């Protein structure tokens, strides 16, 4: 007969067996013969800590109460494994590249290595997980009492509470022994993983054995059981769509967010490839473990007296039918489920508590990483151990507080809904670069407040935390804030209600606050590394330091990693840098590696803070930010667009500048021109005014003077008229408004006409003109009047300015390179080289004499020749003043 004492003995033997398994696995891992430990099978089995005592005992109870709804709890994770494996792969990759130690570490690391956020997540994880640990304690305690009730009447003196306390203490001890045996840099626990893999097999085997016994031992095989299901209440059970959808979502979210699932799935993961196997193997495991749930429930309801707790049918059916051995196996299965969950949960939570709460406090209290004396590893281990004890104690307290009477499934769901609040922040963090720390805080706070108010606090029963009046009328009479009917939406299932509002408002707050806030440089850097984890083979640098700090870093690393491990790391890095000696230079690369190693032991935020204390200074350089900016193709594209725009802008600016310069030049030219015109007009007007006043005011003028002064007025008036004519002529020519009167004529005739027109008035006979008439038999087709105007001007200039004692002008005609060339050469001193450059400009009168021209003649000549398609130029080196007029061949026909 199985007595209570036997049961205790069996438990102890089983635990001892687990110790041996875990120990052997550790030994094998240390010796490097751990290939079989790192198989995908072990990984898949370790994931089965998802199936806790809730599954083992509670699923049957769930089915007995709510029919097939229990399946939702397994459908969620199966969907994740099959359909969302890419999320898991990304999580695993990030976990590996960032040396993440827990979900709190991951979230804090993503949002700028914020320790405050890590503390928040840790506290929330502890609050969320505590009911779950309580659930395990409750199930183990009750399973003990089921046995003692059945066989050992005397054991009634042994209260549930003391049982629970003993069990809690035992679990804490096991976790401490195997979870904190040493401080592994990558936070993997081969021993623990192996032990829970064994437990996974044991619980599956136990449940299958009970199921097989129920189907084939008690029932009449499959068909009989199916008939019995149809005729039972479970068969009549009605499916509720909202609860199904809500629960599938909830279990999927919890599967990703539960700290213990994160521990086995991400932290303990040896190889990303294992996910491929787990993607089908784990859903298969879930299917097997839930296979006999309904048969057991149906048979239990039939067989056992009404009012029996269906949560423990798995145990009570074998006991009631006298199958002690099977009952014992079932008990061990349930025990396995509970212990594996508590161990891993305690391990995961203690890592978080220790890394994010205890260590930072201890570090700041003891004055920082570098100045600490002694081996920090002992402190870390001690803080972990205390944290484990603390976590398990909390679970025990919750169990005592909640009275242990609640159905297992509802406790589990409360816990699920709590940790599911991490989902928006987690997914947002790895898929959305815009997610910020502010958003994370906002989302988590909103989510957890609603969860606590709408689900957790009411779970203790009306009147414990939330009074009856608040439940019915809302706090302070605000009916829209009733815990189970937000915004007056009544009639919703309380669980679905809580999930809906907490997750959606959580996500909304996260999203809105992320959009409002601006991420810090470190957040952006981390965000880029997380979201683009696949593109980052190497990560951007975030530290820089001086050589003098290497020793401090070494001292600190030894304390955390252990002297040997730290030395190995430093030597390896020094070798890699090609530095002689043992100390590598604190290059950004090295500091990155060191931070990762330390993060494996104390978490990202703490490691970052410790290195920051030694290296100091800004942790993110401009180059890093540039690297972040350059990372995504989108950014690059955007940047190249900006560059193109910038190029275009500078091109436009250059054009504008050139246009402006041109306008300024034109404006200056215009000013100078006006100023010149003013001068040219005012000068003759001055004479006219002065002499006309003299004529008017003087009575005693001689007749000769009167004539002389009148002549001056007359000449100046003519000069003024000519000036205006020239100006208008030039203006017309320059604007291109001139109409050419093209005719055909003889060059000789044109020259005759020009000479006759130019050589009139006083002194005209002084100029001797030499021509070669034989050259001049050339027919021209052009504006003959205009060409004549040019000739008149040139002849007039020679007459006015030739300074020789016997001035003479030679007109020479020739055909040069197919063009007609007419040269006018006088025997004066000519025009100096400097003046040659300006004679064709307007108002350019050169030399001393400056006879009464306005300086427009040559400018007009140039414009005319340009209109006629020819040219006029000064011909240097001819002895005197020399001008060459050129007309293109097309306008010239040689006379026959």
Partner 1 sequence: MEKNVLLIEDEPNIIEAISFILSRDGWSVATHSNGHDAVGVVQTQLPDLVILDVMLPGKSGYDILRELREGDQTRSLPVLMLTARGQVKDREMAERAGASRFMTKPFSNAEVLEVVRELVTE
Segment interacting with partner 1, rule: CB under 8 A, options 110-118, 360-368, 623-631, 676-684: 676-684
Q: What is the C-alpha to C-alpha distance for residues 439 and 424, in angstroms, rounded to an integer? A: 10
Give the sheet arrangement for strand 778-783, strand by strand. Answer: 742-746, 778-783, 892-894
Residue selected from 712, 738, 757, 873 as contacting partner 1 according to rule CB under 8 A = 712
Q: Does 851 bind partner 1 (CB under 8 A)?
A: no
Tell me which residue has tokens 């939570």.
349
If you ran DSSP here, which 8-state letter would residue 38 be given? G
Stretch that binds partner 1, among 193-201, 223-231, 671-679, 793-801 (CB under 8 A): 671-679
Closer residue to partner 1 in complex, CB, 690/821: 690
Backbone torsions φ then ψ of 132, nearest 5 degrees: -70, -45
User: How many residues belong to the site for partner 1 (CB under 8 A)?
Assistant: 23
Please report whether residue 691 would count as binding partner 1 according to CB under 8 A.
Answer: yes
Nearer to partner 1, 154 or 678 (CB): 678
What tokens were used for 747? 């060059």
The one among 697, 699, 703, 704 contacting partner 1 by CB under 8 A: 697
| Residue 685 touches partner 1, criterion: CB under 8 A | yes
Minimum separation from the CB atom of position 681 to partner 1 (A): 8
Q: Does 721 bind partner 1 (CB under 8 A)?
A: no
Q: Does 704 bind partner 1 (CB under 8 A)?
A: no
- How many angstroms separate the CA atoms of 872 and 180, rounded? 104
Our finding on whether 683 is near partner 1 (CB under 8 A) is yes
d(CA 773, CA 751): 10
Taking CB under 8 A as the binding criterion, the range among 333-341, 433-441, 519-527, 682-690 that sits at the site for partner 1 is 682-690
What is the radius of gyration, based on Cα positions, of the chain?
Answer: 52
CA 179, 181, 185, 191 torsion: positive or negative? negative
Which one, 547 or 672, has the nearer CB to partner 1?
672
Residue from 156, 575, 657, 689 that binds partner 1 (CB under 8 A)?
A: 689
Task: Look at residues 473, 610, 492 and name the one whose alpha carbon lies nearest to residue 554.
Answer: 610
The residue among 640 and 698 lying less far from partner 1, judged by its C-beta, is 698
Is the CB of 508 or the CB of 846 nearer to partner 1?
A: 846
Report how far residue 390's alpha carbon sits from residue 491's, in angstroms, rounded to the nearest whole number: 39
> Based on CB atoms, which residue is closest to partner 1, 132 or 691?
691
- Min dist CB 683 to partner 1, Å, is 5
Q: Is 817 buried (19+), middle (13-18) or exposed (0-12) by CB count in 10 A? A: exposed
Judged by CB under 8 A, does residue 781 bind partner 1? no
678 is a site residue for partner 1 (CB under 8 A) = yes
Angle 190-212/324-353 helices, nearest 10 degrees? 150
Q: What is the DSSP letter of 620?
A: S
- Separation between Cα atoms, residue 128 and residue 418, nearest integer Å: 5
Per-residue H/E/C for 714-750: HHHHHHHHHHHHHHHHHHHHHHCCCCCCEEEEEHHHH
- Binds partner 1 (CB under 8 A): choice among 159, 652, 686, 770: 686
| Six token digits for residue 466 | 């939330």
Residue closer to partner 1, measured from CB, 212 or 712: 712
* Alpha-carbon dihedral 356, 358, 364, 365, rounded to 10 degrees: 170
DSSP-assigned states of every residue in 82-96: HH-HHHHHHHHHHHH
Among 187, 268, 311, 716, binds partner 1 (CB under 8 A): 716
486's enclosing H/E stretch is strand 485-486
- Choose between 537 and 702: whose C-beta lies nearer to partner 1: 702
Nearer to partner 1, 655 or 675 (CB): 675
Residue 817 in contact with partner 1, rule: CB under 8 A? no
Q: Which two tokens stand for residue 65?
A: 């109460």
Is 234 within 8 Å of 67 (Cβ atoms)?
yes
Q: Give the residue with the Cβ less far from partner 1, 475 or 847.
A: 847
SS3 633: helix
Q: Which x/- pattern over 22-51 shows residues binding partner 1 (rule: CB under 8 A)?
A: ------------------------------
* Contacts of 329 by beta carbon, 8 Å cutoff, 6+ apart: 205, 206, 209, 210
Question: At its nearest, how many Å lie between partner 1 and the CB of residue 727?
Answer: 16
Residue 56 contacts partner 1 per CB under 8 A: no
Select the residue interacting with partner 1 from 655, 675, 710, 764 (CB under 8 A): 675
- Least distance from partner 1 to the Cβ atom of residue 640, Å: 51
Least distance between partner 1 and beta carbon 693 (Å): 5
682 binds partner 1 (CB under 8 A): yes
Helix (H/G/I), strand (E/B), else coil: 547: coil
Contact predicate 370/556, CB 8 Å: yes
Site track 281-300 with partner 1 (rule: CB under 8 A), x = hit = --------------------
Q: How far is the CB of 802 from partner 1 (least distance, A)?
A: 19
Stretch that binds partner 1, among 215-223, 268-276, 509-517, 694-702 (CB under 8 A): 694-702
> Which residues have CB under 8 Å from 177's CB, separation 6+?
19
Q: Which region among 63-71, 438-446, 686-694, 882-890 touches partner 1 (by CB under 8 A)? A: 686-694
Q: According to the binding rule CB under 8 A, does residue 844 interact with partner 1?
A: no
836 binds partner 1 (CB under 8 A): no
Residue 837 CB, nearest approach to partner 1 (Å) = 18
Residue 829: CB minimum distance to partner 1, A: 16
Least CB distance to partner 1 at residue 673 (A): 12
CA distances, 618 to each of 543, 612, 625 (Å): 8, 9, 12
Selected from 694, 717, 779, 875, the binder of partner 1 by CB under 8 A is 694
β-pair type (768-771, 778-783): unpaired
Q: How far is the CB of 690 from partner 1 (least distance, A)?
A: 4
d(CA 853, CA 209): 128
The Cα 616–Cα 370 span in angstroms is 12
| Residue ranges that bind partner 1, judged by CB under 8 A | 675, 678-691, 693-694, 697-698, 712, 716, 848, 850
């Amino acid at each position: 007969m199985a007595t209570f004492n036997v049961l205790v003995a069996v438990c102890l033997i089983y635990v001892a067996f687990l110790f041996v398994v875990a120990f052997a696995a550790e030994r094998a891992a240390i010796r490097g013969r751990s290939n079989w430990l790192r198989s995908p099978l072990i990984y898949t089995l370790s994931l089965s800590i998802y199936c806790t005592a809730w599954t083992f005992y509670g699923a049957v109870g769930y089915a007995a109460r709510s029919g097939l709804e229990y399946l939702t709890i397994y459908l969620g994770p199966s969907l994740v494994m099959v359909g969302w494996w890419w999320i898991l792969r990304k999580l695993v990759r990030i976990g590996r590249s960032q040396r993440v130690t827990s979900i709190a570490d991951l979230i804090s690391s993503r949002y700028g290595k914020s320790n405050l956020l890590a503390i928040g997540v840790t506290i929330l994880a502890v609050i969320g997980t505590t009911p779950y640990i309580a659930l395990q304690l409750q199930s183990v305690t009750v399973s003990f009492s089921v046995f003692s009730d059945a066989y050992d009447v005397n054991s009634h003196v042994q209260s549930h509470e003391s049982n629970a306390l003993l069990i809690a203490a035992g679990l804490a001890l096991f976790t401490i022994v195997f979870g904190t045996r040493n401080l592994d840099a990558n936070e993997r626990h081969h021993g623990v993983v192996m032990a829970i893999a064994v437990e996974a097999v044991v619980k599956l085997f136990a449940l299958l054995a009970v199921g097989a016994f129920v189907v084939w031992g008690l029932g009449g095989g499959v068909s009989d059981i199916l008939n019995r299901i149809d005729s039972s209440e479970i068969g009549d059970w009605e499916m509720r769509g909202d609860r199904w959808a809500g629960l599938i979502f909830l279990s999927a979210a919890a599967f990703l967010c539960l700290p213990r699932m994160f521990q086995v799935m991400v932290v303990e993961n040896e190889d990303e490839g294992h996910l491929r196997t787990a993607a089908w193997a784990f859903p298969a495991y879930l299917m097997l473990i839930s296979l006999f749930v309904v048969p057991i429930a149906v048979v239990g309801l039939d067989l056992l007296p009404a009012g029996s707790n269906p949560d423990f049918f798995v145990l009570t059916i074998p006991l009631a039918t006298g199958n002690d051995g099977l009952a014992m196996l079932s008990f061990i299965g349930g025990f396995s489920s509970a212990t594996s969950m508590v161990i891993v949960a305690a391990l995961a939570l203690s890592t978080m508590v220790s890394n994010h709460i205890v260590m930072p406090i201890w570090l700041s209290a003891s004055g920082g990483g570098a100045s600490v004396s002694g081996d920090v590893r002992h402190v870390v281990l001690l803080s972990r151990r205390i944290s484990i004890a603390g976590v398990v104690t909390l679970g025990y307290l919750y169990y005592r507080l909640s009275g242990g009477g609640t159905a297992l499934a509802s406790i589990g769901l409360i816990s699920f809904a709590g940790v599911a609040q991490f989902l928006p922040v987690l997914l947002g963090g790895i898929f959305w670069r815009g997610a910020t720390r502010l958003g994370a805080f906002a989302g988590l706070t909103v989510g957890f407040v609603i969860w606590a108010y709408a689900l957790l606090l009411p779970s203790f029963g009306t009147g414990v935390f939330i009074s009856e009046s608040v439940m019915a009328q809302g706090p302070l009479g605000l009916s829209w804030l009733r815990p189970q009917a937000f915004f007056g939406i009544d009639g919703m299932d309380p669980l679905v209600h809580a999930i809906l509002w907490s997750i959606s408002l959580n996500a909304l707050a996260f999203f809105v606050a992320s959009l409002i806030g601006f991420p810090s440089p470190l957040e952006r850097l981390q965000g880029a590394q997380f979201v683009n984890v696949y593109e980052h083979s190497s990560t951007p640098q975030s530290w820089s330091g001086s050589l003098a700090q290497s020793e401090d870093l070494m001292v600190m690393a030894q304390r955390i990693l252990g002297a040997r491990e730290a030395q190995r790391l430093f030597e390896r890095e020094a070798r890699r840098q090609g530095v002689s000696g043992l100390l590598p230079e604190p290059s950004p690369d090295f500091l990155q590696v060191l931070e990762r190693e330390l993060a494996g032991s104390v978490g990202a935020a703490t490691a970052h803070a410790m290195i920051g204390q030694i290296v100091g200074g800004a942790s993110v350089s401009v180059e890093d930010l540039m690297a972040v900016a350059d990372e995504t193709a989108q950014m690059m594209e955007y940047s190249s667009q900006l560059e193109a725009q910038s190029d275009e802008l500078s091109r436009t600016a250059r054009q504008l500048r050139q246009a402006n310069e041109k306008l300024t030049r034109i404006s200056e030219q215009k000013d100078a021109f006006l100023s010149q015109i003013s001068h040219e007009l005012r000068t003759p007007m001055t004479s006219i005014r002065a002499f006309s006043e003299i004529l008017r005011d003087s009575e005693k003028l001689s007749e000769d003077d009167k004539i002389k002064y009148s002549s001056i007025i007359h000449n100046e008036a003519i000069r003024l008229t000519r000036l205006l004519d020239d100006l208008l002529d030039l203006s017309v020519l320059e604007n291109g408004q001139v109409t050419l009167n093209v005719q055909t004529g003889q060059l000789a005739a044109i020259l005759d006409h020009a000479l006759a027109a130019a050589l009139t008035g006083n002194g005209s006979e002084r100029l001797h003109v030499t021509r070669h008439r034989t050259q001049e038999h050339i027919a021209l087709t052009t504006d003959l009047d205009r060409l004549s105007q040019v000739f008149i001007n040139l002849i007039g200039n020679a007459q006015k300015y030739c300074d020789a004692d016997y001035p003479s002008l030679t007109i020479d005609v020739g055909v040069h390179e197919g063009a007609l060339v007419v040269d006018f050469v006088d025997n004066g001193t000519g025009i100096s080289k400097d003046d040659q450059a300006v004679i064709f400009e307007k108002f350019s009168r050169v030399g001393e004499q400056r006879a009464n021209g306005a300086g427009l003649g040559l400018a007009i000549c140039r414009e005319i020749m340009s209109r006629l398609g020819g040219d006029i130029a000064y011909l240097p080196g001819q002895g005197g003043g020399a001008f060459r007029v050129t007309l293109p061949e097309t306008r010239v026909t040689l006379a026959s």
